[in-house]
Amino acid sequence: MVYEQLASAGSSAGGAVTGPDEAAITAAGLEKRYGKTAALRGASFQAKAGAVTALLGPNGAGKTTMIRILSTLLRSDAGTARVGGYDVAREPERVQAIIGLTGQSLSVDGKLSGPENLAMVGRLHRLPWPVVRARSARLIEAFGLGEAGKKAVKTYSGGMRRKLDLALSLIAEPPVLFLDEPTTGLDPSSRHALWDIIRGLVTQGTTVLLTTQQLAEADALASSIAFIDAGQVVATGTPAELKARAGQAQLDLIAATDADLARLTSALGGFTVARDGQRRAVRVALASNGTTGIGELSAITAAVAGTGARIERFWMHEPDLDDVYFQLTGHSRPAGPEDAA
């Protein structure tokens, strides 16, 4: 199993520096400007040890800047940050010794093979050659890259290169791992395989800070989420907590004709209804989940059936992280059948 193969690849670098219930990553009031542009404006959040925390937000919100500061690649203009208990600005060498980083841009050397890339990075970390060799073999097997053998990485598929890039970040066995949009460009099969690997690492104690534009990915992996917008952290919580704040479940109905739409609107007048005449659509907001919501849904169904109105299609939409995103960024989510997916 991947979990067993990566047992030491995610948890043994120099011993844990934070306990399982402590914050492995802390950002407090971080600020960063590029000329007149403020990339971070007093951003603060925490990531618990031994868990996945997702940092989400629109393009340009400051996510990559945050990752670069926390991984010592960039200095903040103000504020403080600690990783594994070490101050990022004052103790960068100690931070570098306990982290791994997979950025948006691949760091693999296309002219070298997978094992050669791992060996190069291992030696850059000043690991003894027997350790490099053993860890490289274990990572190649765990990530399913053994069939590539000694082929140059430039012949690898995009998914294989991304897996190798993640393996490179693990060669030093870091207890803290930064993943900046790690599944960009992966096909669904490779993406889910990588999710499985990340879950396995976390079960072994690795702390993961993840940025992604795929909110379903954050929902699948993260136990906590920090939303960042315009350089500020605007909301934090578990996926369930954030989705509960996003609003109610909704039932959308598309009427066959304008007359059917009029019948639906009249029959559902006692419920919270939004009407879109152009699409012949009616949206009903359900009060709550559980037995109360089921009872209300039954009443709505009975009211619709009593009108004799013809319905082209209908779908239920439960609040998800997309709704949280649209709510926090001030945009409206378009209604459509894809909401039910």
Query: How high does pLDDT run on average in the chain?
Result: 84
More confident residue, 196 or 65: 65
The pLDDT-based confidence of 11 (bands split at 50, 70, 90) is very low
Given a cut of 50, whether residue 1 has pLDDT beyond it is no
pLDDT of residue 91: 97
At 179, list the tokens: 């993943």
Chain-centre distance for alpha carbon 156:
25
Residues 143 and 15 in one domain: yes
The residues near 94 (Cβ < 8 Å, ≥ 6 apart) are 84, 86
The pLDDT-based confidence of 293 (bands split at 50, 70, 90) is low
Q: 56 and 225 in contact (C-beta within 8 Å)?
A: yes
Q: Facing residues of 49 across strands?
A: none
Residues 261 and 302 in one domain: yes
pLDDT of residue 147: 87
**3 state DSSP class of 303:** helix
In a domain, 89, yes or no: yes
Tokens 């019948």, residue located: 263
Instruction: Give pLDDT tens digits for 209-248.
Output: 999 988 989 999 999 999 999 999 999 999 988 888 877 7
In a domain, 335, yes or no: no
11-36: buried (b, 16+ CB within 10 Å) or exposed (e) per residue? bebeebbbeeebbbbbbeebbbeeee
Q: 78 and 29 in contact (C-beta within 8 Å)?
A: yes
Residues 211 and 293 in one domain: no
Task: Give start and end residues of each alpha helix (H) in the chain.
Answer: 2-5, 63-70, 92-96, 114-124, 129-142, 158-170, 188-203, 215-221, 239-245, 258-267, 290-307, 321-329
Lay out the sheet containing 311-317: strands in order across.
Answer: 273-276, 281-285, 250-255, 311-317
Domain that holds residue 283: 248-318
pLDDT of residue 205: 93
Q: What percent of the chain has pLDDT over 90?
A: 43
In a domain, 16, yes or no: yes
Task: Point out the least confidently predicted range of 4-18, 84-98, 162-176, 249-263.
Answer: 4-18
The CATH number given to whatever domain includes residue 291 is 3.30.70.100
Given a cut of 60, whether residue 302 has pLDDT beyond it is yes
Read off φ and ψ for residue 226, nearest 5 degrees: -120, 120
In a domain, 337, yes or no: no
The residues near 133 (Cβ < 8 Å, ≥ 6 apart) are 119
Instruction: Give pLDDT tens digits for 315-340.
Output: 887 778 888 888 887 765 555 544 43
The pLDDT-based confidence of 132 (bands split at 50, 70, 90) is very high
Closest CA to 55 of 175, 192, 234, 195: 234
Instruction: Give pLDDT tens digits for 48-87.
Output: 999 999 999 998 999 999 999 999 999 999 999 999 999 9
Residues 58 and 141 in one domain: yes
pLDDT of residue 296: 79
Residues 26 and 94 in one domain: yes
